[in-house]
Structure 1
Amino acid sequence: MVILHADADAFFAAVEQRDDPRMRGRPMVVAHEVVACPSYEARALGIHAGMPLRQVQRRWPQVLVSGYRDEAYAEASAALFALFHRFTPLVEPGSVEEAFLDVTGRDDGDPVGLARALREAARAEVGLPVSVGVGRTKLMAKLASRRAKPDGLVVVDAGLEAHLRPGLRLDDLWGVGATTYEKLHATGLFDVADLDGLDVEDLTFVVGTAMARRLVSIARGTDDATIRLPGARRSVSASRSFPATRTRSKVVAVLDTCIERAVTRVRGLDDPPRLPRRLEVLVRYDDGTTAVERAPLDAPTLDPAALRTAAGQLLEQTAYDRDGRGVTLVGVTLPLPAPA
Structure 2
Amino acid sequence: MAVVLLHADADAFLASVEQRDDPSLRGRAIVVAHEVVACPSYEARALGIHAGMPLRQVRRRWPDVLVTGYRPEVHEEASVRLFEIFRRFTPLVEPGSMEEAFLDVTGRDRGDPHGLAVALRAAARDEVGLPVSVGVGRTKLMAKLASRRAKPDGIVVVDAGLEERVRPRLRLDELWGIGPTTYEKLHAAGLFVVSDLHGLDEDDLKRIVTTAMARRLVSIARGTDDATVRLPGPRRSVSASRSFAATRTRSKVVAVLDDCVERAVTRVLGLDDPPRLPSRLEVLVRYDDGAQVLERGPLETPGLDPAALRAAAGHLLERTAYESDGRGVTMVGVALPLPAPA
TM-score > 0.5, shorter chain as reference: yes
Match of 1:99 in 2: 101
Letter in 1 for 2:221: A
Aligned to 2:50: 48
Alignment of 1:25-40 (within 5 A): 25-40=27-42
2:304 alignment counterpart? 302
How does 1:109-258 map onto structure 2 within 5 Å?
109-258=111-260
| Whole-Å separation in 2 of the counterparts to 1:149 and 1:32 | 25
Q: Which digits, 9 at most, give the CA deviation of each residue in 1:275-319, with x for residues without a partner? A: 111000011111111111100000111111111100000000010
| Structure 1 unaligned regions, length at least 5 | none
| Structure 2 alignment gaps of length 5 or more | none
Distance (whole Å) between structure 1 residues aligned to residue 288 and residue 140 of structure 2: 36
3-state SS of paired residue (1:113) = helix
Q: Distance in 1 between matches of 2:188 and 2:267?
A: 43
Which 4+ stretches in 1 moved above 4 angstroms? none
TM-superposed CA distance for 1:252, in Å, is 0.8
Query: Which residue number in structure 2 is paired with residue 65 of structure 1?
Result: 67
Query: Equivalents in 1 of 2:38, 2:257: separation in Å?
Result: 17
**SS across alignment from 1:229:** coil
Counterpart in 2 of 1:266?
A: 268
Equivalent positions of 1:14-33 (< 5 A) are: 14-33=16-35
User: Which residue matches 2:83?
Assistant: 81
List aligned pairs for 1:286-297, cutoff 5 A.
286-297=288-299
Shift in Å, 1:179: 1.4
Deviates most, 178-187 or 148-157: 178-187
State the shift of 1:108 in Å: 0.8
Task: Please state how far the C-alpha of 1:120 moved relative to its aligned partner.
Answer: 0.5
Q: By how many angstroms is 1:37 displaced?
A: 0.4
The letter of the residue matching 1:39 is S
The one-letter code of the counterpart of 1:208 is T
Following superposition, the deviation at residue 205 of structure 1 comes to 2.6
Q: How does 1:303-322 map to 2 (within 5 A)?
A: 303-322=305-324
* In 2: Cα distance, 1:192 partner to 1:25 partner: 38
How far does the alpha carbon of each residue in 1:203-223 deviate from its partner, in whole angstroms, 9 at most, with x for none?
A: 123212211111101000111
Distance 1:61 1:2 in 2: 45
Equivalent-residue separation in structure 2 for 1:61 and 1:201 (angstroms): 54
Q: Secondary structure at the match of 1:275?
A: coil
Give 3-state SS (helix, strand or coil) of 1:228's partner: coil
SS across alignment from 1:159? helix
Deviation (angstroms), 1:177? 1.1
Give the 3-state SS of the residue equivalent to 1:207 in structure 2.
coil
**Amino acid corresponding to residue 186 of structure 1 in structure 2:** A
Deviation (angstroms), 1:61: 2.0
Q: Secondary structure at the match of 1:188?
A: coil
The TM-score, its normalising length taken from structure 2, stands at 0.98
The CA deviation at 1:58 is 2.3
Q: Distance in 2 between matches of 1:60 and 1:189?
A: 39
Taking the aligned partners of 1:50 and 1:317, their CA distance within structure 2 comes to 27
TM-score, normalised by the number of residues in structure 1 = 0.98
Overall identity of the aligned pairs, in %? 81
